[in-house]
Amino acid sequence: MTDVLDGVRDHYRATGLTERLKAALMAFGPEDRRLTPEQLGALDQFHTRGLAATTELAKLAGITADMSVLDVGSGVGGPARFLAATYGCRVTGVDLSEPFVDAARYLTERADLSGQVSFQTASALELPFDDGRFDAVLLQHVAMNISDRARLYREIRRVLKTGGRFATYDVVSNGAEPHYPVPWARTPATSFLLTAAATRQAIEPAGFRALAWQDDSEAAKAWIVRLRASGPPPSPNLGVVMGPDFAQLSANLGRNLMEGRIGILTAVFEAA
Ligand SMILES: C[S@@+](CC[C@H](N)C(=O)[O-])C[C@H]1O[C@@H](n2cnc3c(N)ncnc32)[C@H](O)[C@@H]1O
């Protein structure tokens, strides 16, 4: 397992990320100007359909101001900041990649949300929290990097209160092998896609009851068509985060979706 985690860390190694983000954000004016989730959206929402997908998932999960939310695999923190800014809730993010956690903290200071949002470097398979600590857990485009799904979903259930919500938004397999490299893995060694049905079979035994279950592949394909029509540079501009090969990773995401090799699943569960 350590080999796999090292491989995932290597994929998201993002050397010098915070400095690159600082340079990219100069376009928004002086460092002391507060940034909004909308301004950061092209850089900090690392999943298909960007901020629109986070907005929909949060609504479906029923996030409210009094909740304590955990974002597992929080990336550079865009979804966590969006939830805090929009709903007024407290959000904790955990991510395997230290450079991503550093960048998430920096962007959160720039958004003036450090009082509500914090980040830790940790594995989703060993969450550093007590049982029943959170009201809701978000998992967006992370499970595809995790081979031990039973353990992942057990850990998420463990840190949730009974009656709490688990909202997942992830890439799923449609049976055919994807073209690599893709945004979550440059080779198949760190990619562990399950079909939508197998994902549900892994989640429910961990102690969850489905509240919402939807196939978002068509919406993702429509987004790819719009991105292709808007031409280079690739938008959203996650090349700043992932490096110069991101255009190729992103092109393969589009190709795999359009060829029906992969799909996009949105689901919300209640902790039983
Ligand atoms: C495609 S990014 C998505 C980031 C974020 N959820 C978002 O939607 O903006 C996948 C993230 O999952 C993290 N990740 C992958 N495997 C992980 C694990 N076992 N534990 C914690 N984080 C993990 C990666 O470091 C990366 O930041």
- Closest listed residue to residue 98, CA positions, set 193, 191, 5: 5
Q: Whose CA is nearest to atom 7 of ligand 1?
A: 46
Find out whether the beta carbon of 199 lies less than 6 Å from any atom of ligand 1.
Answer: no
| pLDDT for 271 | 98
- Closest listed residue to residue 77, CA positions, set 224, 219, 241, 233: 241
Find out whether the beta carbon of 46 lies less than 6 Å from any atom of ligand 1.
Answer: yes
Find out whether the beta carbon of 97 lies less than 6 Å from any atom of ligand 1.
Answer: yes
28 has a pLDDT exceeding 90: no
Report the atom number in ligand 1 closest to the C-alpha of 47.
Answer: 8
CATH superfamily of 2-271: Vaccinia Virus protein VP39 (3.40.50.150)
Find out whether the beta carbon of 140 lies less than 6 Å from any atom of ligand 1.
Answer: yes
pLDDT digits (tens, 9 = 90+) for 177-200: 999 999 999 999 999 999 999 999
Q: Could you tell which of 145, 191, 216 is best to mutate to test the pocket of ligand 1, judged by most ligand atoms within 8 Å of the CB?
A: 145
- Closest listed residue to residue 166, CA positions, set 175, 176, 178, 154: 154
| pLDDT for 236 | 54
What is the chain's mean pLDDT, rounded? 94
